[in-house]
Amino acid sequence: MRKFLSRALKVAGVAFIILVLAYSAVAVVLYSSMGRFPLKDTPPPPRRINNLVWPTVGFPAVTRPGYSVVVEFDPGNGVQDAGRENPAGWKASMKASRAGLSSLTYRLKALKAWLAFSERWPRGTRHGSPRKVWRVEFQVPPETVPELYDLTVEAVKGEGWTPDTQPHSVSVTDKANNDFRFVTLADIHVHRRDISWLFQEQTDKGISRDGTPVYFEEAIEQVNLIRPDFVILLGDFVRAQHSPGDYQLEFEEFFKTMLRFEVPVFTVPGNHDLYVNEVNGAKVWEETFGPLRYSFDMANCHFTAVNTSDWPFQDRIVMEKFGLFVYPRKWQGQVSRASNERDPETFKGQLAWIRDDLEAHAESRLRVVLMHHDPYTPDGEGRAWENERFAGAFTMGGGGKGRRALLELFSRCRVDSVFSGHLHCDDVGRERWSAGGGETVFANQTCVYFDEGGVQEKYPGYRLVEIEGAAVTSFAYLDREHSIPLYDGSVLDGETNVDRLSLPAISAEYAEPEADREAAGAAWTVRSYLAQPMELRGLVTGVDSPDGGFVARGGEIYRVVPIPGTGRSLVYLSARLGAGVPGRSASDTGKPFEREVSVRPAEAEVEAAARALTP
Ligand SMILES: [Fe+2]
């Protein structure tokens, strides 16, 4: 018996060693540089950030009429040292980004120009290591209409001028109070439509057969209807891991689509966005959206955007082996670096920057951190950071550093909220601050797209975050933990057939104004299947400008903007929708709250009233 046992142990030992060796061999083959994606001829996306390095399309300026904006201009060719302190050597203009309003333009007055280190690019500007850029203060004309604008800045260069433009980079707001609201969207994953597997049919809803990102377009439409003060995109805009050249094609599709937002957009990088697939995603990011990490203030609330895919180049490479794609080595969270994650004094690199940024804003009313990977997750384990084990043997994807360090900083620096994505699910964790007096809420959220169809324990959605009186008063649907669903029939605590989702949870059906004078104006049928009230501020229409002004029904006019040179005006209305009755599943239609919202010339109202009185 003993002999048998010792033999069995020996066999088990040898089998174990063989297994370990086999796993190691597989790991070496998978992750050696051998067989990386071959280079194809797909050109890299065009460089979109050139000389005007702030504000940018992914890191816009939010300001008010009559206020000033300090832009950053880096010619990137050494001409920084030429004397340009004279404001007369600088010009800037803004053109409304909204379709139909492009004739609304303003010249900005240059007040001051000086050379200084960038305040917007913590690692130095897109052109390289920290060095001085031209910071130019421009005044936004006091008569500026609150809208989103494309900004063009010109600098004297020898005998001519070099204009540079950033679309959607300046948002002008006339908010009188400090309350505001924003939408967060995560994991949009615009991708090519060729990733079906044998047992996993790709849904038409993530990407349609003609390549349209259906859910993303629906999200943009609903966000424009809500018209929050801004939107935050929490990373993973593309997929970039199926075949060579994916990155460029997906990225272009994403960029083209995101310009449909009619509100300013702040972008935060996810792992997929920084993958190396023919091109280096981190470089493309900086050439398109702006810095990988940055911070900004909104009504004395401080926002810090963090890059949680802080992995070296080698770990971000997507490869192809034997005709199959192989994930990059790392896709979970990492923020470097610290020799002791419990001791902020030892932090370096991005962690030191986060520490300094949060400490410098200790007096802000609220600190909010935006990041792709949630360092906490409800149980405190940090599922977006942990090691994933391949067949129980070696780790893939995870093992990232900096998780503890972030939690330490958030607790010490009294961070109020952390918004994240990556895990494609609604999860909320809470941790008390070490010194007491409050807690950090870690709000992870669902995705916008699904590559797999069928039944899922999630649905596409978004968070609408409301800040009132220096506090986050709402960030979840029905004030629980969920995201607000994009479609009726989404099941909160159960299974949703995502293929069957088709009825937008909120919508506004526009009725074209009729030709006869009485009916001149415009009307919408607005609907909401949401089980909570919703305020829409994005009912915007162009109508002929009457002498006596407009009258609204079913909603309120909050702005009228004459469109230069047309005799027409753009009318902005808000409408408060009551709660509807949501459908119980994707094949069961709910009962919407429905309302007509219309706007007409005031004289048409008077005429109609007079006629009603005539016997
Ligand atoms: Fe991700």
Percent of the chain at pLDDT exceeding 90: 64
CA distance 245 to 588: 41
Distance (Å) from CA 166 to ligand 1 centroid: 27
Look at 380 and 39; give whichever has higher pLDDT: 380
Distance (Å) from CA 447 to ligand 1 centroid: 10
Choice among 50-64, 91-105, 504-518 with the minimum mean pLDDT: 504-518
State yes or no: pLDDT of 319 exceeds 80. no
Q: For residue range 465-508, list pLDDT tens digits in order.
A: 999 988 999 999 998 899 999 999 999 999 999 888 999 999 99
What pLDDT sits at residue 199?
Answer: 57
CA distance 587 to 581: 14
Distance (Å) from CA 544 to ligand 1 centroid: 47
CA distance 482 to 215: 18
Distance (Å) from CA 400 to ligand 1 centroid: 14
Average pLDDT, the chain: 89
State yes or no: pLDDT of 195 exceeds 60. no
Distance (Å) from CA 349 to ligand 1 centroid: 22
Distance (Å) from CA 372 to ligand 1 centroid: 7
Distance (Å) from CA 187 to ligand 1 centroid: 7
DSSP 344: G
Task: Indicate whether this model's pTM tops 0.85.
Answer: yes
Token pair 């990232």 is found at 400
CA distance 599 to 569: 12
CA distance 339 to 441: 27
What pLDDT sits at residue 394?
Answer: 59
Distance (Å) from CA 186 to ligand 1 centroid: 9
What pLDDT sits at residue 479?
Answer: 83
Of the ranges 31-35, 193-197, 285-289, the best mean pLDDT one: 285-289
Distance (Å) from CA 305 to ligand 1 centroid: 15
Distance (Å) from CA 370 to ligand 1 centroid: 14
Distance (Å) from CA 152 to ligand 1 centroid: 34
Q: Measured between alpha carbons, how far is residue 56 from residues 22, 53, 251, 472 in Å?
A: 49, 7, 17, 27
Distance (Å) from CA 234 to ligand 1 centroid: 9
Q: For residue range 90-123, list pLDDT tens digits in order.
A: 999 999 999 889 999 999 999 999 999 999 999 8
Distance (Å) from CA 328 to ligand 1 centroid: 12
Choice among 195-209, 367-381, 424-438, 530-544 with the minimum mean pLDDT: 195-209
Which pLDDT band holds residue 212 (cuts at 50, 70, 90)? confident
Distance (Å) from CA 247 to ligand 1 centroid: 15
Distance (Å) from CA 423 to ligand 1 centroid: 7
Which pLDDT band holds residue 242 (cuts at 50, 70, 90)? confident
What pLDDT sits at residue 194?
Answer: 65
State yes or no: pLDDT of 385 exceeds 80. yes
Distance (Å) from CA 458 to ligand 1 centroid: 16
Q: Measured between alpha carbons, how far is residue 132 from residues 81, 88, 117, 135 in Å?
A: 9, 20, 4, 9
Distance (Å) from CA 335 to ligand 1 centroid: 14
Other C-beta atoms lying within 10 Å of the C-beta of residue 565: 7
Look at 452 and 270; give whichever has higher pLDDT: 270
Distance (Å) from CA 385 to ligand 1 centroid: 11
State yes or no: pLDDT of 391 exceeds 80. no
Q: For residue range 80-89, list pLDDT tens digits in order.
A: 666 789 999 8
Distance (Å) from CA 377 to ligand 1 centroid: 14
State yes or no: pLDDT of 519 exceeds 60. no
Distance (Å) from CA 271 to ligand 1 centroid: 5
Which pLDDT band holds residue 5 (cuts at 50, 70, 90)? confident
The contacts of residue 353 (CB under 8 Å, 6+ apart) are 122, 293
Looking at the chain, how many residues does it have? 615
State yes or no: pLDDT of 198 exceeds 70. no
Distance (Å) from CA 422 to ligand 1 centroid: 4
What pLDDT sits at residue 30?
Answer: 65
Q: For residue range 372-382, list pLDDT tens digits in order.
A: 999 998 888 89
DSSP 235: S
